[in-house]
Structure 1
Amino acid sequence: MKQPIKGFSKLSKEGKIEWLVNEHFENPEEARELLKEYWHSNEKRQQLHDDFIENTMTNYFLPFGVAPNFLINNQLYTLPMTIEESSVVAAASKAAGFWLKRGGFKTEIISTTKVGHVHFNYAGSFETLSTLFEDWKPKFYEETEELTANMRARGGGILSIALVNKTDVLENYYQIEARFETCDSMGANFINSCLEQFAQVMRADIELRTDLSAEDRDLQVVMCILSNYTPECVVRAEVSCKVEELNDDKDVSPEEFASKFQRAVRIAEVEPYRATTHNKGIMNGIDAVVIATGNDFRAIEAASHTYASRNGQYSSLTHCKVENGVFTFWIEIPLALGTVGGLTKLHPMVKLAHEMLGDPNSETLMGIVAASGLAQNFAALRALVTTGIQKGHMKMHLFNILNQLEATPEERDAIVKHFTDKVPHHNLVVSKFCELRGIPVPKSGVNKDK
């Protein structure tokens, strides 16, 4: 039975690895070698990676790909995409090429406001709390002047502060709700620092209110934290063309394609089962660019799915219409992104990704990321309503199967050629592989004795 370890964080990196491989692996030497195999050969770079998180053992590599030919607001981009799922980069590239000939992607920043809260309990009357708040409010601004000076110099800062009564949903629960503009920074540290200063003002002031009853002085700050739900930090991206210009598939007329495509989007708007998969595909494109540019994909995911539920039912993030012979497909999505701070100046690949995009500001990056999600969704829906999703996806997955089989270059070429006009399901690929090798087809899975 495994035993807990005390003082693990105080061990050296080598000490942590020795404990890990001896405690959790049947072959400690093999595990140790694999961990070290993924260390960066440049010691300075490896130290940089070690410092990103705690208890770093090694690096976990993900493919860094690019999707060219994205025409966004009449400017051509090559998008960096970090993702492990096959067909995502290919699909985004194909959609970008399709819309390159039809005017490209148009984006618009709807708003860039972010929100944070001081969550607190108050047992006194709301009237007394409202009076207290009016006294606190100017102090909130005064006591955060040093914190906000640089942000204000760049055109940002605290936009508004309000008292919110939430006692209808939870006894004695109130909020100080503040709105912020954080410019090119994602702004989490800035917002949280301001909120904690607000809380200090509240605590200090209530301690001095000896004129109030015990109940009216009963205030407890629960927490101070920004919200990753950013429904006021939203970008719109769209593509449009005349219906007759949707003439890229010989098997489906432009009119039929537009009708089926619009219906597919409408299904995702009304059916949560479909909307979940529909939006997951959107996030394939969005997350890949968000990760490559050193932003927090988990925050983006959380905000996007909450936004998709804002009307009481989980629904599609994209929408489509056909009016007066014009096909329009668009997305509106909350994207709180940063181009300064965090990993943007630390991680070499993140710096490279930003340079590849022309070192965009946060608003430009919002548009680029939204376009990547719209392109991904267009490619998926286009496949679904024409050839089906598996044909293209499984062809990309073929290379994963061949790698698993450890096929030689000659075998790879022969198998890829064989499946040019066939869907390469796993069992069919294994059978063809065994045929080329002249060995029996295994009863299940990959042949272990190649």
Structure 2
Amino acid sequence: MNKAISGFSKLSKEEKIKWIANQYFSTPTEAIALLKNYWNSDEKIQKLHDEFIENTITNFYIPLGVAPNFLINGKYSTIPMAIEESSVVAAAAKAAKFWSTRGGFKTTVINTEKIGQVHFIYKGDVSKLNLFFAQHKSKFFSETESITTNMQKRGGGILDIVLKDKTDLLPNYFQLHATFETKDSMGANFINSCLEQFSKTLKEEAHNYNLFTETEKEIEVVMSILSNYVPNCIVRAEVSCPIEELEEKHILNPKEFAERFVQAVQIAEVEPYRAVTHNKGIMNGVDAVVLATGNDFRAVEAGIHAYASRNGKYSSLSHAKIENGIFTFWLEIPLALGTVGGLTSLHPLVKLSLEMLEKPSAKELMQFVAVAGLAQNFAALRSLTTTGIQEGHMKMHLNNIINQFEANDEERIFIQKYFKKNTVSHSAVVSFIEGLRK
């Protein structure tokens, strides 16, 4: 059967669903019913969701949870987290409560600079290109004034533009490397609009520059685009306390725990195989808050992992030390976030999440996200260096296994009671359910 189709995007949502159901499912009516079951009953909200992307057929739900008791710079907050992985929200909340009685989290925004580049090919005398740029630099600013006026009123705008010679990497390759401040917006559209104007100015002015030869005048702009690598848009989050204050139910020997914890972090600093999983745990917290607040978690992921490799080897994003009897655990990560524009003003649950965070600025949101990442990392390392990661994770995973086998309420009670005292594994749960049903 030919499953290609022409003009799919022009079909109505109902027609799209009908075509997909008939082409790919043995029981089309069941597929259609399932897709429609996830539509929002409020037509206005559903229409809003339909228009977020193209070819929408339904909504794909991810749970929105909350982690309370985060004491950040002396103030309590409850952090919204959108994620499908079990134990993440519970772990973050547990870490938040742990540190709330030990001074809480301290955060600092180090910088908020964002980057965009015009990538171009120039075949000619480099000294003449440098002179051209020096003479015309002000024009790049003046010809973007219509774009930057509103951003400048909010305290943002273009910070600087520099010409970069990249011919050691590729023949005839140069950049206009621009830095921006976008205040409370993520700023992608603003930055890209400025860059496209830069490219027009570059080509037009080069074409009219009388010191260039005809070949030199024909500058080829390859692309103009922002970078998701923002090594100068950094936030720091940390926790610290005297070693003896680390004692709790699972930490009976705080000195031994602190030393093992620091060793675990040091392993992630030097061993890339461990660092990837270590940083994935941080991103469990980071991505969950980024998604809940309507920001681009793919951009954040790409930028953060690039930052983890900035010294030529992939390494841990978090660090730990013991000095003068004080245990300190911290991370510094790049985060380009926004609290205005995009989904932040459209998605009802994004607006709710931001209101829960008391309508933060972009700088404040950076701090919430960093804290969630650090809390998640602390919780994971505490488990790994004490009881082991699987004990808590598999108990949280128990509900997923129970739901997979569609246990009724009575069976659920027996299963949960049994596994309070026994090790949870998929095979053990399946075996118990089968025995229970016999």
TM-score under structure 1 length normalisation: 0.96
Partner of 1:70: 70
Matched with 1:54 is 54
Aligned to 1:137: 137
CA contact (8 A) 1:234 1:333 kept: yes
Aligned residue for 1:62, secondary structure, equals coil
Deviations 1:149-172 (A, max 9, x none): 111111110000000000000000
- 1:370 maps to which residue? 370
Pairing of 1:307-386 with structure 2 (within 5 A)? 307-386=307-386
Percent of residue pairs bearing the same amino acid type: 62
The answer to whether the aligner puts 1:158 opposite 2:179 as a matched pair is no
2:33 aligned partner: 33
Amino acid at match of 2:289: V
Structure 1 counterpart of 2:409, one-letter code: P
Find the residue that maps to 2:58 and give its secondary structure: coil
- Mapped contact 2:207–2:218 kept (Cα < 8 A): no
Whether contact under 8 Å (2:128, 2:211) holds in the other structure is: no
Q: Secondary structure at the match of 2:167?
A: coil
Q: Give the corresponding residue for 1:80.
A: 80
| Distance in 2 separating the partners of 1:2 and 1:89 | 45
> Does structure 2 conserve the Cα–Cα contact (< 8 Å) formed by 1:124 and 1:217?
no
What amino acid does structure 1 have at the position aligned with 2:219?
L
Aligned length: 438
Question: Cα distance 1:312–1:92, how it changes in 2: closer, same or farther (>3 A)?
Answer: same
Q: Is the 8 A contact 2:292 2:353 kept in 1?
A: yes
Is the 8 Å Cα contact of residues 252 and 386 (structure 1) preserved in structure 2? no
Cα deviation digits, residues 355-408 of structure 1 (max 9, x gap): 000000011110110000000000000000000000000000000000001111
Assess if the C-alpha contact under 8 Å between 2:250 and 2:386 holds in 1: no
Cα pair 1:108 1:235 within 8 Å, conserved:
yes
For 1:184-203, list aligned pairs within 5 A.
184-203=184-203
Following the alignment from structure 1 to structure 2, what is the Cα–Cα distance between the partners of residues 110 and 295? Answer: 20
Q: TM-score, normalised by structure 2?
A: 0.98
- Partner in structure 1 of residue 294 of structure 2: 294
Answer whether contact 1:124 1:218 (CA < 8 A) is retained: no
Q: Which runs of 5+ in 2 are unaligned?
A: none
Q: Distance in 2 between matches of 1:140 and 1:71?
A: 45
Shift of 1:211: 5.3
1:405 — aligned with what? 405
Please show how residues 81-100 of structure 1 align to structure 2 within 5 Å. Answer: 81-100=81-100
Greater Cα offset, 373-382 or 10-19? 10-19
Aligned AA (2:207):
E
SS of structure 1 residue aligned to 2:111: strand
Query: Could you say which residue in structure 1 is the equivalent of 2:206?
Result: 206
The one-letter amino acid of 1:161's match is: I
Aligned 8 A contact 1:81 1:291 in 2:
yes
Deviation at 1:10, TM superposition (A): 1.2
| Backbone CA RMSD of aligned residues | 1.0
Unmatched tracts of structure 1, length 5 or more: 439-450
Give 1:249's aligned residue: 249
Distance in 2 of aligned mates of 1:251 and 1:85: 26
8 Å CA contact 1:118–1:175 kept in 2: the answer is yes
Deviations 1:258-302 (A, max 9, x none): 010000000000000000000000000110010000000000100
CA distance in structure 1 between the aligned counterparts of 2:79 and 2:404, rounded to whole angstroms:
29
* Helix, strand or coil at the partner of 2:160: strand
CA shift digits 1:420-447 (9 cap, x unpaired)? 1222101111111122222xxxxxxxxx
Which runs of structure 1 show a deviation greater than 3 angstroms over 4 or more consecutive aligned residues? Answer: 249-252
Q: Which amino acid aligns with 2:349?
A: M
- Pairing of 1:159-238 with structure 2 (within 5 A): 159-209=159-209, 212-238=212-238
